[in-house]
Structure 1
Amino acid sequence: MLYGILAATSALFLAAVLAALLRLPALRLGIVDRRRRRPVPLSGGVAVVTATCLVAVVGDWRAVAPLEPEVGRLLVAGGAAALLGLVADVRRVKARFLVGGTAVAAACVVPYEETGVPAGLLAVGWIVFVTLGFKALDHADGLAGTVGVVTAFGVGACAAAEVMDGLAVLLSVLAAALTGFLMQNWHPARGGLGACGSLFTGFVLASAAVTTRAGQELGSGAGVLFALTAVVAADVLLVVLTRRPLLRGGPDHLAHRLRRLGLTAQGATVVLGAAAFSGVLVGVLVHLGRLAASGVWWVAAGALVFVLGLLRVKPHGPRRGRPPGPRRATNTQVRASLRVRNG
């Protein structure tokens, strides 16, 4: 317990310091998020990955918290996913390479001896889905980090209930590192998570959840996994239903549409963080046997209603509650006005 607190505290401060120190190098190297009105350096991903891995390796080296084989394998595979994401941050990488690389990494961490091959292959697909879903969730300040912290605590609670202490400590360290990063990423963001940090976060959380639920009944296991990542699933579903072509970028995610309803950037993040907490709480209670497995259906129904409601919000145009800005005069109108003035 004492080591867990010390490790989490170390990861929090290390991630916060690294995220701040790496801002300037990221700006100079052009590793920035250009989707926003001003370039945001993508220094947070490297900070989160470094802090999480370094604290875990030091604990193993000092024999305070030795890395179990499956945890060590998960950490190496997560590092590979982070490296792939770093390449995507530096230069454009086609989606199929991200999917393929993540699938290979996922195939190396699924415990097939407990899940069986058919269920293991489904688990690989789910890990890829959640990992890329977290990358897509990194579309608003503080959102991916907030959802990541909430999910990490939930999956960590499930791991602790299964006496997987090493995995529980790793997840608490990841949650702390994301919290330190949020000091730079809260609106207005001074640093972004990027593909490096979002792929690492999504991969570690999804793989840890699969490891925790391995060997249990497939139906209830799938329900718990969905509840733990309901916000990610809802965001992907919303984009799939509205975006044509699918791989085109656009302001059509959950947070974008909540902003169209008049919420502030911070307000949208808080709402989605609360939604993530609700789903995670149900997932943890079902895993612990404190709630019937049917409780997951309430999470699914709530997510579906949420998505269908936001489908009615146009992703473009003026936000509700704000009058549209003045129309800019065309060049023809300007020239006509000047002629009138000059007689």
Structure 2
Amino acid sequence: MNVLGIIASGVAALFVTVVLAKAARRAALRPSVPHDPSGRAPRTRGRARLLRGAGGATVVLGVGAAVGGGLVLGVAGDAAGPVAGTLAGAGIVAVLGLLHDLRPLWPVLRLTVQSGAAVLVVCLAGLSPAAAVMAALWIVLVAGAFALLDQSDGALVAVGLVTSAGLLACAVLDGGSGAALLPAALIAGLFGFLPHNWRPARLHLGGCGAQFTGFVLASCGALTQSAAPSGRTAWAALPALATVALADLALVVISRRRARRSPLRDSGDHITHRLRRLRVTVPGAAILLALWAGVPVVTGTLVYARVLHPALLLVPLAGTVAAVLALLRIPAYAAPSRPKARRAPADRTQAVPAPVPVPGGTRRAPAAPVPVPSTGTVPVVAGPVRPAAPALVPGATAPADAAPPASGGTGTARTAEGRPTVPPPPTGRSGAPVAADRS
């Protein structure tokens, strides 16, 4: 194994990633558009999408440059073909993710391109037809599962670091430089990108970096298993390294199936989203995922090194199943809001009392008493209020200084002494005796 070459490739990947990430961060913090005198809001949606993809592109360029330089210098040795195929397939998937960041693509198109990239990897690896089919399916499945972890700041980067460390340890146990070159460069690239992706994140992996990272991890696992000696239990140890990614995928599929949602439609139902509903902070969720991934990674590596029995892999598997069942109890989808019943608006118009017929004339019925609020203020009633005009009593004459009658009605009738008259009772009796009694 060319240890110095692998270390040099890792240092190169770290340096390139840090430099490019700083440049991308400055571009992200720079004001997008100068102030427009016309008052129009600047269009920053396209720029935000571009910067989101640029964050993942820093990891792609850093790891790709380091691995490409290692291939030129002969660090990979006899495994140069599989490593070159993996790098080419990961580059194709990264370009696809960058296009998806700029403009969302159809899921069928993305799945087709990822399958073609996986076929390229297994063809250059020189596997048998049956092993090639199984390896291609594994790469597509695990690459998509790892890419789905990019739902929270630092989550995919933390899990990717732990998984890459396990793959590097397995490659070192076998003594293959080619199998160790890609994990070493990926560890360096993710480590240089982690400060910019930690909470609060200034840069994100996006579809470009997430697809690249997942594809490299899945391809390294498939290549390590194909090159493992016969005495290694690689068929059981290496799949355990992807336990967290597969658990998140299973959680999402089961949740959307039970809720009758489309499995291709992204929703807030991943592990990080459910941990947030349990009041776990964003950095805490990333740390919990890293610790969760560390248990099966350490167990799988020790099983691969023949230190532990393969049956002990059932312990982290049972814990993962229990964790998924517990996370399924956390509600992930908001209940549909029911439309509130609208109340009929209160009729604020005051009903006009109907006129009451009386002998000798007409007058309006007295209006209902207006309730006074507790504040002591009397509400204002719109419209003029007319006093009721009593009918003129037979035999009484109005004084000369009486006010002229209002338009359309009669004036107030008064007696000779100047007193107002009293309307006759409803029995038809004359009102003169009543007036005489009051005088």
TM-score (norm 1): 0.84
Alpha-carbon separation, structure 1, partners of 2:47 and 2:207? 11
1:226 aligns with 2:239: yes
- Structure 1 residues 292 and 59, CA gap change in structure 2 (3 angstroms): same
- Structure 1 residues 17 and 29, CA gap change in structure 2 (3 angstroms): farther
Matches within 5 A, 1:161-240: 161-214=173-226, 220-240=233-253
- In structure 2, the residue matched to 1:96 is 108
Structure with bigger helix share is 1
Alpha-carbon separation, structure 2, partners of 1:40 and 1:262? 29
Q: 1:7 Cα deviation (Å)? A: 2.7
1:272 aligns with 2:285: no
Q: 1:114 Cα deviation (Å)? A: 7.0
- In structure 2, the residue matched to 1:15 is 17
Q: Which moved more, 1:108-117 or 1:278-287?
A: 108-117
- In structure 2, the residue matched to 1:325 is none
Q: 1:61 Cα deviation (Å)? A: 3.4
Alpha-carbon separation, structure 1, partners of 2:225 and 2:266? 34
Matches within 5 A, 1:53-132: 53-63=64-74, 68-110=80-122, 116-132=128-144
**1:114/1:215 contact within 8 Å kept:** no
- Structure 1 residues 218 and 308, CA gap change in structure 2 (3 angstroms): farther
Aligned-partner SS, 1:166: helix
**1:23/1:42 contact within 8 Å kept:** no
Greater RCO structure (CA 8 Å; 6+ sep): 1
Q: 1:271 Cα deviation (Å)? A: 0.4
- In structure 2, the residue matched to 1:6 is 8
Which amino acid letter does the alignment assign opposite residue 276 of structure 1?
A
Report sequence identity in percent.
36
Which amino acid letter does the alignment assign opposite residue 11 of structure 2?
T
Alpha-carbon separation, structure 2, partners of 1:150 and 1:291? 20
1:30 aligns with 2:46: yes
Q: Which has the larger radius of gyration?
A: 2
Which amino acid letter does the alignment assign opposite residue 15 of structure 2?
F
**1:112/1:120 contact within 8 Å kept:** no
Q: 1:264 Cα deviation (Å)? A: 0.5
Matches within 5 A, 1:40-55: 41-55=52-66
- Structure 1 residues 114 and 291, CA gap change in structure 2 (3 angstroms): farther
- In structure 2, the residue matched to 1:307 is 324
Aligned-partner SS, 1:137: coil
**2:76/2:83 contact within 8 Å kept:** no
- Structure 1 residues 41 and 196, CA gap change in structure 2 (3 angstroms): closer
Alpha-carbon separation, structure 2, partners of 1:227 and 1:86? 29
TM-score (norm 2): 0.67
User: Which of 262, 272, 275 is matched with 1:258 structurally?
Assistant: 275
Which amino acid letter does the alignment assign opposite residue 18 of structure 1?
L
Gaps of 5+ in 1: 34-38, 319-329
Alpha-carbon separation, structure 1, partners of 2:195 and 2:249? 26
Which amino acid letter does the alignment assign opposite residue 205 of structure 1?
L
1:308-338 CA-to-partner distances (Å, cap 9, x unmatched) read 00111112569xxxxxxxxxxx9x89x99xx
Alpha-carbon separation, structure 2, partners of 1:65 and 1:228? 23
When the two chains are superposed, the root-mean-square deviation of aligned CA atoms in Å is 3.1
Alpha-carbon separation, structure 1, partners of 2:226 and 2:155? 29
1:206-243 CA-to-partner distances (Å, cap 9, x unmatched) read 11111111166799544323211100000000000111
- Structure 1 residues 64 and 223, CA gap change in structure 2 (3 angstroms): closer
Q: 1:115 Cα deviation (Å)? A: 5.1
Aligned residues: 323
Alpha-carbon separation, structure 1, partners of 2:181 and 2:227? 21
Alpha-carbon separation, structure 2, partners of 1:132 and 1:113? 21
